[in-house]
């Protein structure tokens, strides 16, 4: 009699794949603790930023007040255009005096030089 064909033997199922990174996969209780610690750090950093931001705002108010006082103190000073005008006028006046100085000197000595020459 012919032999009946029996089904091939079944191989056992492969073991479930283990993630290579222990942090990858379903969250564990330890993962939740790490997340809570990180959130606490972020909250602490946010408080630190708030504190220094309020100090910065106070400093900026002080700078604004000082700038306003400086503008009041400087408002009476002459402008750059006025200073340039005065310096240019003084230079032109000094140049003119140097140009006509010999004639003025001769005029101041008067006729003494002209009469002795004649």
pLDDT of residue 93: 95
The position carrying tokens 């004639």 is 103
Q: Using CA atoms, how far apart are residues 91 and 83, in angstroms rounded to an integer?
A: 12
pLDDT for the residue numbered 13:
65
Non-local (6+) Cβ contacts of 19 within 8 A are 25
Local confidence band at 117 (pLDDT 50, 70, 90 cut-offs): low
Q: Kindly report, residue by residue over 21-46, the tens digit of the pLDDT.
A: 555 555 556 778 888 999 999 999 99
* Residues 47, 42: Cα–Cα separation, whole Å: 9
The rounded percent of the chain whose pLDDT value lies above 90 is 44
Render pLDDT for 72-92 as a digit per residue (tens, 0 to 9). Answer: 998 888 999 999 999 999 999
Q: What is the arithmetic mean of pLDDT over 101-114?
A: 77
For the CA atoms of 108, 114, 117, 118, the dihedral, rounded to the nearest 10 degrees, stands at -160
């Amino acid at each position: 009699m012919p032999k009946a064909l029996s089904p091939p033997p079944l191989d056992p199922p492969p073991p479930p794949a283990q993630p290579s990174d222990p942090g990858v996969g379903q969250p564990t209780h330890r993962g939740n603790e790490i997340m809570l610690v990180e959130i606490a750090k972020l909250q602490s950093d946010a408080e630190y930023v708030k504190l220094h931001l309020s100090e910065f705002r106070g400093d900026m108010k002080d700078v604004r007040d000082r700038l306003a006082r400086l503008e009041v103190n400087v408002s009476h000073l002459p402008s750059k255009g006025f200073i340039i005008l005065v310096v240019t006028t003084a230079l032109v006046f000094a140049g003119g005096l140097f140009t006509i100085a010999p004639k003025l000197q001769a005029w101041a000595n008067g006729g003494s030089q002209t009469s002795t020459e004649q």
